[in-house]
Each structure stands twice: as C-alpha cells, then as structure tokens.
Structure 1
Amino acid sequence: MSVATTAQLKAEEIKPKIGSRVLNSKEELLSGEIARDIRDLLEARGVLVFPKIGFTDEEQIAFTKTLGTFAPERAGGAEEISKITLDVKENPSSAEYLKGSLYWHIDGTRNDVPILASLLSCKVPSPKGTGNTGFANTYSAYDDLPEDKKAEYEQYRVIHGPWASLFYYEPEPSLAKLQGYAGIGEQELPLVWKHQSGRKSLVIGCTAAAVVGKTPLESAMIIHGLRDWATGPEFTYSHEWDVGDLVMWDNTGTMHRAEAYDPTCGRMMHRTKLEGEEPFE
C-alpha cells in the first residue's frame, strides 16, 4: 500500500532582516506542495535563495507557475525565459537599457501594478568578486525608521520614470536618448506603500526623480537619504552566484541591483516573473 507524503518547507535565515535559503529538492519545489509556504516566506524575508537547484528553462517556468500567474516579458507574449546580460552580442535589444540595473531599483515603477516577484537563475557567472546581485529589504527599512520620520514620509508622493535612471550612468545624454526614455512613461507614486497585508514599504530607487512639492535639492535629500538608509548593512544581502543558483525576490518590498562586472565576461542569467497582485497605494 502506498502512503501519500506531503513535502514541508526547509529553510534557514541568511541575515536577521533579509534573506532565507530554501533547501528543498527540485522535485519538492516542482510539485507545488509548498508553494503557499514559499510565498509566505518570500513576503517575510524579501529574498529566497535556492542554492545550485539547477533548473532547466522549462523547470524554471513550471516552478514560477506554481507560485502565481506567470508574467510574460511583453504584454500578450509567450511564457518564455528572458536572458539577462549586459553583453550586447547576446542581448542587442536591451543591453543598453539594462545598464540601469546596476543601480538600486524596484521593477515596474511606471506601472499601476508592478510585478510581484522575479526569479533569476545563473547559467554563466561572472568572475568571483564581481557581478553579485544586491538586495535591500524596504519593508524592514521602513519598520526601523523613527516614528516621526514615518509620519513625515507617509505624506509624500514621488515622480518615477526610467528616464531618471539614465542620468546615473550617462550624466549628459543626448536629447534624442532622453526623449526615448521619457517616452517609456512615468508615474506618481507614494513614497510609502501601504500594502493590503497592512505592512508598509518604501518606494525608492534610481527611477525616483522628484518629491512632489519639494525643490530639487529637497527631493534629492529625501530620495538619496532614504536610499542610504535602506541599503545599510542590516537591510541588505549580496548574492555571489554559482552555476545553477536560483534567487527569487519580492519586488513589492525589495530593491535590487546588479553589482559591476565586465559586460564581455559572458555573465548570463535567465529570468521569469510573477504578475503583480496589488497596485501601488
């Protein structure tokens, strides 16, 4: 007689305020039996690392779909892997745009509903000591602010646009390039996101251009001051990649960035995403 077994989530903390390693087998992950527990842990910890799990592209897509609704790279697009690299030979259409990924950001700040999460698997790492991916828990960063600062920041709204990130790596862009980035769109968002769960997180990063009603200098002091706070050592984790690693992060309460590497080194990541489930509010 066969006996039904139910997989249980096996995880360990990486740092007190961010990150957990998930130690379940590939078969347990693909079964979907612990999907709800993974979702809960993701919200609680911000970043989940699946060390050397070695998913194929098909398995990564299948695993992503156990956790929510698969988000195609383009509206109406196929359920497929996105190649993430700065190598223009491998990624000629978006390597230039991905330069903004080297700076702290949240994906989808030009949208009403940003993606819920991204899953990134390592196919080719950069040389050790380069090309890590950094993460910052903006839930924890908000929670640890002084109460008077929380009350102040909850009043503010911020203009976000991909054009703002352009100035991080190209301080004097041509008008044509600036117009192209501006054409992607922008959005006015709350500085503090009041989630449906009752938790709150900071909405900051390199797409943040200006605080509504503040001077340029006042805006910069707020935006960059909060970035410095939220990327302090207690709120951040830097993942050094090995082939086969999968890392998943909560895009609604975590900033991320790629750390500098040689674009010609062959570093290659494969990404899938989960559709967003709540608007910025």
Structure 2
Amino acid sequence: MDETTFADSYRTASGLTVRKLTEHIGAQIVGVDLSRPIPADAVADIRSAWERHGVVIFRDQDLPAAAHRDFSAHFGPLIGHVVNRFNMADCPEVTILSNITNEKGEKIGADRAGMLWHSDMSFLPRPSMGSLLYGVECPPQGADTEFASMFAAYDALPAEERQRLAGLRGIHDYPWHYRTYLSHRQPLTPEEEAKTPPVAHPLVRTHPSTGRQALYVGEGLTRSIEGMDDDAGRRLVVELSDFATQPAFVYRHKWQPGDLVFWDNRSTMHRATDFDNTYRRLMRRTTIQGDAPFYRPAGH
C-alpha cells in the first residue's frame, strides 16, 4: 500500500500535523524544520507519532550529517554500523549507504543493503530501537523502501498460533546473513564476525512503550528457530515473514532527495527494493541503541 491510497490527519499539541499514510503503518509529519533546534514538546509529539504509526516521514528537509545526528540523538544513544568502514570518518554515528565509488574504485558505503525483510541489527543482544534514513541522492525509479507493521501481523494471527509462537525464539545470525546474501561485498573480518555471534530473541516481542505485541522475525536476519531442526525452523521463519509482509500490512516509500524516514525497529520490518545501478544513490542512516527484546503476556 503506498501513500496515495489512504488519508487521515490530526494536529498535535506542539502544532505539528500528522497525516496517516495507510491503515496500519506510516505517517507524514509536517510543520518542523529538522535542521534547527526542536522544542521538547515537538520531540515528544514526534516520539508519540513514531511509536503509534511505526514509521514517520519528513519531506523537504535540508539536513547536513551533523544535524541528522543531533536530531536522532533526541530519541536515544546512537550506534554506528558493525562494519566500521561504512561509518562517516568525521561523524561516526552516521552510516553511509551508497553505490558510489571513490578514486580507488571502492564503494563509499554499504551497497545493495537490506534487500530482504529484516529489523535493523536484530542480531545484537540489544538490537536497534529505531533508524533514521535520509535521502541525499535518489534514483529516479526503484530503490523504494517497504515497511511492514508487525503489530498488524501479530493481531491477524489466529489466537492458537499467537499462543504457540509466544513460547519460541528466533536465532538472529549476521555472519550467516552476510555469507548467504552479501557475497558481492568484501568478507567480514574475523574481528567483525566475533562481534556478532548468533543471538536468540522471542518470536513475539512486547513493545516497551505501548505494551502491544509484535512479531519479531524476518527472512533476512532470522536464520532459524531455537530448538527446532534447522530446515524446519527456516521454513517457519520464511512462512511468518511472508505472512507479516502481505500488502495490507505494508507501506512503500518512494524516495525523494530531502526525505528523512524514521522507523521503529521494535514494531516494523523493512526492505529495500532494487534499482538500476547506473543511477547514483547516496543515503545516510543513524541508528538508535535499543534494549533486549522481551515477551510479556497481556495483563502482566
């Protein structure tokens, strides 16, 4: 579902306008210049909209890297990418995603990143709480980003399936993901692999702010299910990922330069779509440190 198919809006106490983009996920926030200091009440309203809608979009923003970093830091401590070479030298909290090469013929950022459904840095004991991606140069077609509401996916499951999944844990494995899907890149170093051993997280995750339950599993980074045969666990991962990303639960963002998109990794998944690599693409991302995922039954 894209942003032309759904319309609803409300005004916040700080004077921002929030326009819903789909029934289950996504909203555009209007009335704020992110390159300038943001009042505390506006930050609180942005946080509230982000947690409610899963993804919030700001258009027509002129956002240097330092301003991108400073706005992001309102929402929590920032962490760079595990692969340090993708982080900006003079602003290491900011990660570059790009197909552009330098004078040595090396890519200046992560290219063809995130093209399978995933939640950012789910392979860490404390995965990312949120990510903020800014468009500097965007191809004229393709390179969209799709977002799925894991709240809506969980709510749509039969009650007995929700109960079954609540007792399971997914195995999130970055070195496996890198070897399986990113063979076009320079391999991870032994030190990078050592920083990211597989971790297990609940398949159903309780959102710490809203208390809502969300599926927490994605084809890209969840290798299998703890305690299950690898093949059977992998089949369940793909089945749940496919269920969660059916069109009714998805917002597709068509990028324009100056867009900043801020998503909640605790309640959404996303993936990048393909594009013609003859077009330049340059994006900047910040990542907010999160807490360890947990499952708390409703009413507890």
Per the normalisation by structure 1, the TM-score is 0.84
Aligned pair 1:59/2:72, yes or no? no
What secondary structure sits across from 1:15 in the alignment? coil
Contact 2:79/2:93, CA 8 A, preserved across alignment: no
Aligned equivalents of 1:160, 1:66: Cα separation in 2: 28
Sort the Cα spacing of 1:267 and 1:142 in 2 relative to 1 into closer, same or farther, 3 A: same
Cα gap change, 1:8 to 1:91, in 2 (>3 Å):
farther
Conserved? CA contact 1:135–1:237, under 8 Å: yes
Map 1:105-144 → 2, pairs under 5 A:
105-128=118-141, 130-144=142-156
* 1:90-127 deviation digits (Å, cap 9, x = unpaired): 863753xx545111111122212112111111110012
Q: How many Å separate the matches in 2 of 1:16 and 1:101? A: 25
What's the offset of the Cα at 1:40? 1.3
TM-score w.r.t. length of structure 2: 0.79
Asked if 1:36 corresponds to 2:44, the answer is yes
Higher relative contact order (CA 8 A, sep 6+): 1
User: 2:201: which partner in 1?
Assistant: 189
Task: Report if aligned partners of 1:122, 1:268 keep a CA contact under 8 Å in 2.
Answer: yes
Change (3 A) 1:263 1:30: farther
- Whether contact under 8 Å (2:35, 2:62) holds in the other structure is no
Please report how far the alpha carbon of residue 29 of structure 1 lies from its aligned counterpart in structure 2 after TM superposition.
7.0
Question: What code does the residue aligned with 1:47 have?
Answer: V
Equivalent-residue separation in structure 2 for 1:204 and 1:178 (angstroms):
23
Q: What residue in structure 1 maps to residue 298 of structure 2? A: none
Moved more, 232-241 or 208-217: 208-217
Query: Are positions 1:82 and 2:95 aligned together?
Result: yes
Tell me how far apart the structure 1 counterparts of residues 109 and 283 of structure 2 sit (CA, whole Å): 14
Unaligned runs of 5+ in 2: 1-12, 295-300
| 1:157–1:212 CA contact under 8 A, matched in 2 | yes
Distance 2:37 2:149 in 1: 27
Given that 1:160 and 1:187 are in contact with CA atoms closer than 8 Å, whether structure 2 keeps it comes out as yes
Choose the corresponding residue for 1:102, options 115, 137, 141.
Answer: 115
* Letter aligned with residue 271 of structure 2: R
2:23 aligned partner: 16
- Which residue number in structure 2 is paired with residue 3 of structure 1? none
CA distance in 2, matches of 1:236, 1:137: 7
Which residue number corresponds to residue 244 of structure 1?
258
Q: Which residue of 1 aligns with 2:157?
A: 145
Which amino acid in the other structure matches residue 197 of structure 2?
G
What is the CA distance between 1:88 and its match in structure 2?
4.6
Q: CA deviation at 1:157?
A: 1.2
Contact between 2:205 and 2:216, CA under 8 Å: does it hold in 1?
yes
Show the counterpart of 1:162: 174
Say which is worse superposed, 193-202 or 148-157, in terms of deviation: 193-202
SS at match of 1:34: helix
What amino acid does structure 2 have at the position aligned with 1:92? Answer: K
In structure 1, the residue matched to 2:288 is 274
Cα distance change, pair 168–134 in 1 and its aligned pair in 2 (3 A) = farther
Equivalent of residue 79 in structure 2, options 68, 71, 83: 71
Q: Is the 8 A contact 1:7 1:28 kept in 2?
A: no
- Number of residues paired by the alignment? 268
Quote how far apart the aligned CAs of 1:269 are: 0.6
1:204 to 217, 220, 226: 217
Identical aligned residues as a percent:
27
What SS does the aligned partner of 1:12 have? strand
After superposition, the Cα gap between the structure-2 partners of 1:241 and 1:251, relative to the gap in structure 1 and judged at 3 Å, is same
- CA distance in 1 between counterparts of 2:96 and 2:202 reads 31
Render the CA deviation track for 1:41-81: whole Å, top value 9, x for unaligned.
11111100111222222322222123333334469x95543
Offset, 1:187: 0.6
For the aligned residue pairs, the C-alpha RMSD in angstroms reads 2.8
Residue 4 of structure 2 aligns with which residue? Answer: none
- Label 1:158 to 1:7 Cα distance change in 2 as closer, same or farther (>3 A): closer
Residue 225 of structure 1 corresponds to 239
Q: Which amino acid aligns with 2:51?
A: E
Q: Residues of 1 paired with 2:216 and 2:274: CA distance?
A: 23
For the structure 1 residues 116 and 125, does the alpha-carbon distance in structure 2 shift closer, same or farther, using more than 3 Å as the test?
same
